[in-house]
Amino acid sequence: MVEYDDTLKPTGKLLNVKQDAREYDFSEFRKIQGTVFDKCYTNLEADSNGIARTSIRLGDKTVTVWQDAKAFPYTQGMLDHKY
């Protein structure tokens, strides 16, 4: 995940969400209600074909976006406090 300063400018530092920013580790489905963030994730986990997937689940519905992890090596996540 890309680290930002208080003005949302990238600092140039990459954070490992499994070590440095666990509250933003969404590699497994979990409830995120009450979490507010605007983060850019990089070093995406890709399958053997180089495809990375990002999924959002609401109740029994799931939306999955896939991308070529080499051509697009990042994904942006935003969640407002309203959700």
Strand partners, 63: 56
Do the Cβ atoms of 32 and 79 come closer than 8 Å? yes
pLDDT digits (tens, 9 = 90+) for 7-34: 888 898 999 988 888 888 888 888 777 7
pLDDT digits (tens, 9 = 90+) for 36-58: 778 889 989 999 999 999 998 88
Long-range CB pairs of 54-63 (<8 Å, 24+ gap) are 55/29, 57/29
